[in-house]
Structures are given as C-alpha cells and as structure tokens.
Structure 1
C-alpha cells in the first residue's frame, strides 16, 4: 500500500481546496511558466472563449518576443508551448471546433518568428509544432470548414514552411479536404508553379551566400524555395488523390532512374495494382552494383518480384543482396524459403562468404548479428591486422560475445581499441582504454596459447615503451 505521504492525486485531495490553492500560489511565485498555466486553467474554468483569449494573448507574446532561446532556457519555452497546445486541444476545440482550429493555425504561425531566435538542435521545439500540425486534420473535420477555405489556408501554410513545421500537412488534412478540397488545392499549387519569383534589377540583387558556384542572391534562394515547395506539394496531393501518374510526372525522365526515386514510384505503382509497370521503373534505375545501392531499391525490387510470382528470381536477388551487403535480414529471408535440409548447407556457404569478405569490420558485424560468436572469434584472430580499432560499436560487443569461449579473440578486440586510442592520442577515450586493458589482464589467465600474438605482460611492456608519456592513460590504469 502506498504511503499517505506519497505524491499522488488522491493523497493531495486530503489537503483540501483552500490549502492546495495556497500551495499553488507559493509554488508558482517566481515561476512565470507556472503562473501562466494557472491563469490558463482559471480561464478555461470560466469558459472555452476565455481560455481562447488567454491562449491568443500568449501566442502573440511569443511571436513578438526577441530574446534568444538557447539550451538553457529552451525547456520553459517547450512547457509553455505544450500548455497552450493542450488548452487548444482539450479545453477549446471540443466545445468550439471553429475557434480551436483558428487558434491552432495561429499557434502554427508562431513557428517562423520563434525559430528565427531559437536554437532547436535537439529537435524538441519542432516536435511540439509537429504535434500541433497533426491535430489540424481532426479539428478541421470537426469544425466543418469549407474545403476551399481549408485548401486556401493550407496554401498559405505551405508557403511558410521554412522550418518544416507543416511537413505532412496535406496528408493530415486529406479527410477534411475531400476530393473537392484536394482539387482546389491542386489548382492553387499549379497556379503558384506558373508564377516564378520576379528577378529585380541587377543593382538591387541582394547577396545572401557564397559557394563554389559563386554568389547566391536572395531572389534565387526564394525561387528555389518556391520550386521545392511546389514540387513537394504536388507529389503529396498526388498521393492524397491516389494519382500515381501525377506523382510520376513530378520527376523528369532522368530523375526517375535514380534508384531511390525509382523505388518510391514502384511502391506506389504496386499499391495501385500495376506490378509490371513497377518492375519497369525498378529495372530502368541506374544502379551501380560496384558501389552502394540504396536499401529501398533492393527491398522494393524483392517485393515487386514476389508480387509477380517470380520467386526464383527473387531468391537469387535476395542472396545477391546478402552477399553484397552482409545484411543478415536478406540471408534469413533467403534461408527460410529453401526446402528442408538445403538451408543448412546454404547457411554454411553464407558463413564462408562472410568470412572471406573484402572488409573485416562488416563481416564481424554480421557474425555478431547472426549470431555466430565462434565465427566472430575466428575472424578476430585470422584478420586481426584489418580490424579498425575506431569501430568500438562492433568491437565492444565482439569482446563481450567471445570472452567466455574465446578469450584470445576477445583480447584482440580489446587491444584493437586500445591501440587505436593510444596511437591517435584520443584522450577522451583513455578511461575506456584503461578499462579494456584491465579486462585483457582478467582474460590473460584463461589463454593457454597466444600463438603469434604477444602475451599480456609483453603487450603491456610494449605499450609502456611506445606510449609511456601518455600520462592521462596510465593514470586511469593505475586508478589515480
């Protein structure tokens, strides 16, 4: 049973309304955020309209503010924004959807002036605006806004999407827009597409940046932004209307051959029941198998081949994908489609292929993911010279996976990280490297044969000879 002093709603109720009110006044003293929250709650208790007035005032204040928001004062801002958004969604919109929608649009309009003075490297602030944007569809539907008016509002919003606050807006508004609204929205965006940004007289050109291509001017940046917005909006509208051909039309023939774009087109064609057309786009993509191939293209090709019942071709491609990427998902999918008993031999061949891969680190990652600690251990020993000690994301789990049965392999994984840290003088990693050396000492007692590798005491002696002046590391080793 919870203590009567545990902070929960039931226990606090026993204090009574008067005492709780006194405590709230005391706690909110010196906290503008807490005071605003209390005023908002009081306004909401009177009526949704009063809550709306309070929200509108606060949004105006945030939009007009000029002080810079950094990581130190970002949290109170986020709390404030979340309070205003919560009031719109929970206190105002349920009783007055039209007012809630108007305030939600006003909330979204705060984004541009706010981000001009805000450091949002953590992405927390934009997350609040994405939550607000997601609520627009449901509230617009409840408000019964005319499709044309809603489409016009969407156009204004998309033209003010410099910080990505309206990303996904068209899909969000789709139920409220309906066919009529989507049609009107398409007309408006197409009209914008035909209206390039005017080029001012050359003496009025405003330089806004410099690069390898020369000077970039304000009107050029504005034109690029307009073209980007139009293109993205028309693609989103095509998706909302289920018009695959309109989506394809947004890409020129050359761009359609980019593997990632070809995969996007093929996925939509497949969803529309046009598998043959989908395969055509996939096969026409310009793929260089000697270089990195987008995962999206590979996965989409497999889905399309399966949809066309070209299972043998799909299996061959699945194996090819594994052999080029060492992605365990492709191998698992390949093996589970094989007849009984054939999968064992195929798995062994796949293990041999991974062990002989031209790059040791991805092979190690594969053996860890499969998992095959015995193979991982053998690779660490046989190809130790190839292991890059900077890849601690592979080597730490490799040491853990192999330490019980293969202490020499675990030691070599740890040494690779130690050697890299000391040879590159990565002082921030000295503490980790010292712990790795301690782990090597613990493993040494279980290694009967070091083979061609140095025994632990010889290795430590060499480290002291080569890196004895790196006092920061040795202080960690000595526990100082």
Structure 2
C-alpha cells in the first residue's frame, strides 16, 4: 500500500477541495502557463463561449507579440499554443463545432507571427499548425458549414500559404467541402489560372493552382482529372519519372493499368540520376501485377536487384516464387551480392540480409576496398561479425582506426581507441591470420607511425610506453 505522502490522485483527493485550491494558488504563482491552464479549466464550467473568450484573448496576445524567442522561450510558446489548440479541438468542438471552426481559422493565422519570432530550422513549429488543419477538417465535417463559404476560406488560405501550413488543407477538408465545395473551389482556381500574368508571379500562381487542382482530383478520386491537369497545362512534366509514377499509380488504381504502363514508358529515365526512379519502378510493378503480367514484374524485380541490391525487391521476388524454388533463388541472389562491383553496396546488402559468412568472405577478399570513413556501415558490420567471424570484424575495426589516425580526426579518437581494445580482445579468438598482419604486429606499427598522437593512446587500454611513443 502506498504511503499517504505519495503524490497520487487518491492521496490528493483526501486533502479536500479547499486545501487543494489553496495549494494550487500557491503553486501557480509566477507560472503564467499554469495560470492559463487553470483559467481554461475554470472556463469549462461556464460552457464553450467562456472557453472561447479565454482562447481568443490569448490568441490575440500572441498575434501582437513581436519579440524574438530563444530556444527555451520557443518551447514555452509551443506549449502555450498546444494548450489553446487542445481547448479548441476538445471541449469547444464537443459543444459548439461551428465556434471551434472559427477559432481554428484564427489559430492558423498565427503561423506568420510565430515563425517570424523564432527559429524553426529543426521543423518543430510547423507540425503544430498541420495538426490544427487536421483538427479543422475533423470539426468542420461535424457542423453545417456552407460548402461554398468554406471553399472560399480554403481558397484564401491557399493564396497565403507561404510557410506550407496549408499544404494538406484540401485533403483534410475534403469531407466538409463535399462535391459542391470542391467544385466551387475548382472554379475559383480556374478563374485565377485564366488571368494574365508573367514572370515570377505567373510561376507562383501556376504552382499554387496545379497543386490545388491535383489535391481536388485526389479528393474526388478522379484519376482522369489528375492526368488532365498535367496533359492540359504542363505536359512536359509527365516526362519526369516521379510525376509519371504519381499519375500511373492513380490510373492503375482505377483499372487503367495499360495506360499507366504507356505513360511510364514515355518517361525519361536517366541512369546517372536516381531522382524518381524508385517511384517509377514501384508504379510499373503495380501496373504489371494489375495486368497479370507477373513474369515481367519478376524480371523487373531481379533487374533492380542486380542494379541496386535492393533487399525489399529481393524479398518480394522470393515471396512470389513457387514452393522450394526460393532457396535456390536466394543463393543466386546472395552470390550476386558478393560479386557486385560496388563494395559498400555489396557489404551493406550481405549485412542487412543477413549473411555473415558471405559478408566475412567479401571483407577478406576485398579488404583493400574498406573505407574507414564509412563508420555508419563498418561499425555495425564489425559488431555483427565479432563472435562468428573475428578476423573480418578486425579488418573493419582496423580500417576505422587507420582512417581516424591518418586523417587526424581527433573527434573519433575515442571510438578508434575502443576499436583497438576490441581488436585486442578478438585476437585471442583468431587461430589463423593467413596473410593478414597479427594484432601484436599491427599494434607495434600503430605505435611507430602514430606514437605521438597522445590524445588517442591515452584513451586505449593498449597504452604505448613513453619510449615507443618518442621514436
């Protein structure tokens, strides 16, 4: 049984309301955030109008503020905004959805003043406003908003989307807009598109309209409208693999897989660039499967395996093989990985599959290709191989040690020292070094070549003696 002094709800309830109220007043002194939270809680007793009054007052204060905020102050501001958002989407929306919709639009108007007051290079601010647009979609669908009026609000928001806060607005408000609202929004965008403009203003307007039209097409489930947006206004974009893939996926979904394939065939794939290739490949596989052309899809998966050693495509390939054929195919694939011209790609493939035996063989056969700077790869590989393949693990560790010392990367000395200590421990498990330098010899060479790198040696268990370090 918990002691009566333990801080939990039951023990606090035993104090009684008067005493708790006194303590709360004492606790919130000097804590503006806690005071606002209490005011919101008190306002809930008087209904949504009173809560809304408190929220409006706070949002107006935040809109007027202009001082720049440091990281600590920004954290407090985001907490404050989150409290207001929860008050709107919670108790206010539950009792008066229309009022909540109005307040959420007001909340979203704070994007510009908030961004101008604090650094958002880490992307911590915008998710809060994206959540507010999601709330807006949920709440608006629950109240009798006029579709055309809502469409006009969406249109205005899209024209003032400088920070991307409304990027998902059409998707999130599609249910509330309905067919009538979406049609009205489309008409307004067409009118905007028809206006004459030039230069940067024209490009900006064209981009806004195109993205919005594509979102409307998706909201209506209209693959033809999605395709027509590109065909009618910027057909050259369909030559880009990523764009062709976007459209092809939608065509396949509505039973137009052959058109999707034709569109993908017309896209320009540049073997020197990877942009859009992955999307193009997935769209093509989906279209082939939809047309019951499974053998062609399998050939495409294997070709991608040969090119990029894609584990995902290998797994998809094996999953579609008849029983008992996947074992042989897996062996062929792993041999393919072993012989791949790109050593880093081959090692990553065998490590992630995983195949420790082949990974070790690859390291021993192509040890000259080990890049000690690739610690994100070699570190996990060495750790995975330590128990079963200590010699291969040692080569990975040595590559990282040698790079750190040769390049004088002092920030890595701590890791290099740890790697050297691991090499010493692994040496006891290696019976046959072959033509690879044994640990004692390697250690002596390190002391000879880098004996004056005191910062490194002070961190290792294999500390060099002063006489060796001075030579």
On whether the aligned pair clears a TM of 0.5, the verdict is yes
Q: Is the 8 A contact 2:421 2:461 kept in 1?
A: no
Q: Select the residue among 278, 294, 298 that pairs with 1:311.
A: 294
User: Which blocks of at least 5 consecutive residues in structure 1 are unaligned?
Assistant: 200-219
Which residue in the other structure is 2:30 paired with?
30
Q: Counterparts of 1:42-441 in structure 2 under 5 Å?
A: 42-195=42-195, 222-251=201-230, 252-289=234-271, 291-292=273-274, 294-441=277-424
Q: Is the 8 A contact 1:377 1:402 kept in 2?
A: yes
Tell me whether 444-453 or 284-293 shows the greater mean CA deviation.
284-293
> Per-residue CA shift, 1:427-475, capped at 9, x if unaligned?
2222111111111111011111222222112222222232233322222
CA distance in 2, matches of 1:479, 1:30: 56
CA distance in 1, matches of 2:8, 2:42: 22
Which residue in the other structure is 1:457 paired with?
440
> Per-residue CA shift, 1:45-76, capped at 9, x if unaligned?
22211110111111111111111123222211
CA distance in 1, matches of 2:73, 2:450: 44
Deviation at 1:88, TM superposition (A): 0.5
Q: Secondary structure at the match of 2:459?
A: helix
Q: Secondary structure at the match of 1:465?
A: helix
CA distance in 2, matches of 1:428, 1:351: 36
Q: Secondary structure at the match of 1:112?
A: helix
CA distance in 2, matches of 1:321, 1:5: 65
Q: Secondary structure at the match of 1:183?
A: helix
Which residue in the other structure is 2:458 paired with?
475
Flag the 1:7–1:421 CA change in 2: closer, same or farther, 3 A: farther
> Per-residue CA shift, 1:348-397, capped at 9, x if unaligned?
22111111111111111111111101111111111111122222222122
CA distance in 2, matches of 1:340, 1:271: 30
Q: Is the 8 A contact 2:421 2:462 kept in 1?
A: no
Q: Secondary structure at the match of 1:477?
A: coil
Deviation at 1:146, TM superposition (A): 0.1
Deviation at 1:108, TM superposition (A): 0.5
CA distance in 1, matches of 2:456, 2:272: 42
Which residue in the other structure is 2:468 paired with?
none
CA distance in 1, matches of 2:195, 2:447: 71
Q: Secondary structure at the match of 1:339?
A: coil
CA distance in 2, matches of 1:266, 1:368: 34
Q: Secondary structure at the match of 2:117?
A: coil
Say how many residue pairs are matched. 459
TM-score, with normalisation over the residues of structure 1?
0.91
Deviation at 1:129, TM superposition (A): 0.8
Tell me whether 417-426 or 299-308 shows the greater mean CA deviation.
417-426
Flag the 1:79–1:358 CA change in 2: closer, same or farther, 3 A: same
CA distance in 2, matches of 1:122, 1:448: 50
Flag the 1:319–1:418 CA change in 2: closer, same or farther, 3 A: same
Flag the 1:367–1:2 CA change in 2: closer, same or farther, 3 A: farther
Flag the 1:455–1:82 CA change in 2: closer, same or farther, 3 A: same
Which residue in the other structure is 2:466 paired with?
none
CA distance in 2, matches of 1:390, 1:23: 58
Q: Is the 8 A contact 2:92 2:100 kept in 1?
A: yes
Flag the 1:343–1:273 CA change in 2: closer, same or farther, 3 A: same
Q: Secondary structure at the match of 1:85?
A: helix
What RMSD over aligned residues (CA atoms) do the two structures have, in Å? 1.9
CA distance in 1, matches of 2:163, 2:462: 49
CA distance in 1, matches of 2:6, 2:260: 61
> Per-residue CA shift, 1:151-188, capped at 9, x if unaligned?
00101111121111112110111111110000000111
Q: Is the 8 A contact 1:444 1:456 kept in 2?
A: yes
